[in-house]
Amino acid sequence: MALFGTDGVRGLANRDLTAELALNLAISAAHILAEVGAVGEAGSNGRPKAIIGQDSRASGEFLEAAVIAGLASAGVDVYRVGVLPTPAIAHLVAETGADLGVMISASHNPMPDNGIKFFAKGGGKLDDALEAKIEARLEEKWDRPLGADVGRVVLDESAAERYIYHLLSSLSTSLTGIKVVVDCANGASSRVAPKTYERAGAEVIAISATPNGININDGCGSTHLENLKAKVVEVGADLGIAHDGDADRCLAVDANGNEVDGDFIMAILATDLKSRGELVNNTVVGTVMSNLGFMKAMAANGITVETTAVGDRYVLEKMLADGHTLGGEQSGHIIMRQHANTGDGLLTALHLMQAMKNSGKSLADLASVMVRFPQVLINVKDVKKEELSESEPIQSAIKAKGEDFGDKGRILVRASGTEALVRVMVEAESVKDAEEIANEIAALVRSELS
């Protein structure tokens, strides 16, 4: 089975993702990127340079040490930036001209998991071909640098401030007058998100912003909005912002405690950009999971939607290929390419609040640009997900039900790229119809793939 999923290498820390594997991945990545010309000589003393960060998981500490050891032993100078969001690493790689970036995080996954994702020169995520080469070369024999040729390790203490400056410089409006509650998921944004929003002018109330290595994503953040909804209503905030463990996601809550997911946020940003003549090609890039209501809303506003496979790197690939500047996912990964080359939850939140400020409208008013089709998502666990595409009964059922829907609903069944399960998603005009068909297909998946 391939090590790399849709977003790096993930697994249960110290069982699936061990220190030994982290060390070998780092060494192999250094070698492969050098060979394909993605690594130059940006570091001191003619050595390549890498930026490494992590989220707040306890396991990130030993995994960081292993990755640093692997890179430095391969002759790479390593700059440690500590606990920062994933998009901060992407930005710092581009800002410093570094040859490689490494983020240690399992994003929204539970605390016992962890992951390693790599960024190439310029801050972009690695494509599938490069990841396959890294995996193929694990534990190969190699000539080790000696003496002054080994890499050095440096603590970069100004990295967080430089990232915050980058975020704030993207704004054209002060956020004074906006009251926001931010749920940091006890993760990578706990230090920088409240500080950034305050410096932008907003009144900020932070919750789940005291990470202890164990409590990341534990009943909080973008996958658990209950506390945020309650707090927004309790304090009379204009909105709430929820980040996931590594803060590349942003979900929102309006003043009444209603969820505003990534599709709504993209719809708000897309129509705002179009009204100012700044939406390149009048096109936004979504994924196969984007809600049908989003598709219809964009069409009604003269905006084209291009779709990709699930995963923000696939969204970015499409954006780069066709020159689009806005794209993202229902889960809250939003890419604003005029300011960043990866999904950035803090950047998204700032521009969502700026759209509120510039329009003088509430978040609920802005979100009314689209009507969400009821969506039912069932995760079918403990099945042979790799056999999904070969199952004729499942594929036939999906096709038949889809034809019955016409343009009034849709069905998507896919194997998860980050977890051991199959996702069954159904959208319809009524919750009842969506639930009935989703349950029927999920039962078929269980019986066929068990």
Per the residue annotation, which of 59, 105, 107, 331 is the catalytic one? 107
Rounded Cα–Cα distance for residues 154 and 447 (Å): 54
Rounded Cα–Cα distance for residues 164 and 192 (Å): 7
Rounded Cα–Cα distance for residues 54 and 102 (Å): 8
Rounded Cα–Cα distance for residues 221 and 345 (Å): 12
What type of residue sits at position 284?
V
| CA 134 to chain CA centroid, nearest Å | 22
For residue 269 the two structure tokens come to 């940003």
| Signed CA dihedral, 419, 424, 425, 431: sign only | negative
| CA 418 to chain CA centroid, nearest Å | 12
Lateral strand order in the sheet of 326-328: 304-308, 283-287, 326-328, 334-336
For residue 36 the two structure tokens come to 């394909």
Catalytic (active site) residue 447? no
Tell me the CA distances in angstroms from 10 to 73, 137, 366, one per residue in order: 23, 18, 36
Q: If DSSP codes are grouped into helix, strand and coil, which group holds residue 405?
A: helix
The catalytic residue positions are: 107
